[in-house]
Amino acid sequence: MSKILVVEDEAAIAELERDYLELNGYEVVIADNGNDGLKLVKEGGFDLFILDLMLPGMDGFDLCRAIRSECDAPVLMVSAKKDEIDKIHGLGLGADDYITKPFSPSELVARVKAHLARYERLTGGNVRETSSVLEVRGIRVDKSSRKVWVNDEERILTGKEFDMLVFFMENPNVVFTKDELFRKIWSMDSVGDIATVTVHIQKLREKIELDSSKPQYIETIWGVGYRFTV
């Protein structure tokens, strides 16, 4: 049974999220402030995190950053703030998804299922892939250990950044639209969350490109999408 941490200061929302998730077979723990949430994060054992953005004490941004220093389990940020800059900031810190309030509980459950399914597939330990290594023009990816090196220097990627790099390297020289990348990497249909792809592309470029303003690996095909060039 997957274990989920919900950090939400509005009791009614937290209880609604918990009820729907438990009905779908998940174990749910609730914290009503960022500081208590951080204590639970450090105790470990969670498979996914749902964070409100505006929290007493440590806010959702700082908590997301702290989670990313501990593990690469999926992080979903929830907020009533619709500003694009907040979404970009959250995704830039390593969040895997950003859901704007109000949202339907069924949408939340669907996203949780999709993120957990993909995370479990990628970390489930397929025996045939335990030594699977991808190498392209100075980039080396070990899929079993989920480590990345660029010109023999290890680079630390978030879970979704790693997934995106592997997807690109396994599908070289193919142009993908932002919608296609969202469906492939996040395993769900894009619902106006194009910023998710844009931010992850930007962050990935900063980690693998010599000059992210002049990318040599992940090219922008204007008006269409992106291509990983080999």
- Residue found under tokens 């250990």: 145
Of the chain, the percentage scoring pLDDT greater than 70 comes to 88
Among 2-16, 71-85, 100-114, which stretch is predicted with the lowest mean pLDDT? 71-85
Give the pLDDT band (50/70/90) at residue 103: confident
CA distance 51 to 5: 8
pLDDT at 2 over 70: yes
pLDDT at 183: 83
The residue type at 11: A
User: pLDDT per residue over 18-63, tens digit each?
Assistant: 999 999 889 999 999 999 999 999 988 999 999 998 899 898 889 9
On whether the CB atoms of residues 201 and 163 are closer than 8 A, the answer is no
pLDDT tens digits along 121-156:
766 533 333 347 888 889 999 988 889 999 989 999
Residue 186: per-residue pLDDT: 79
Mean pLDDT throughout 103-131? 71
Task: Using pLDDT thresholds of 50, 70 and 90, give the confidence band for residue 114.
Answer: confident
The larger pLDDT score, comparing residue 167 to residue 85, is at 167
At 185 the pLDDT is 85
**What phi, psi does 176 have (nearest 5°)?**
-120, 135
Q: Which residue has the higher pLDDT, 54 or 85?
A: 54
Q: Please state, in angstroms and as integers, the Cα–Cα distance from residue 129 to each residue in 73, 86, 117, following that order.
A: 20, 37, 18
Which residues share a beta bridge with 79? 100
In the predicted model, what is the mean pLDDT of residues 92-108? 83
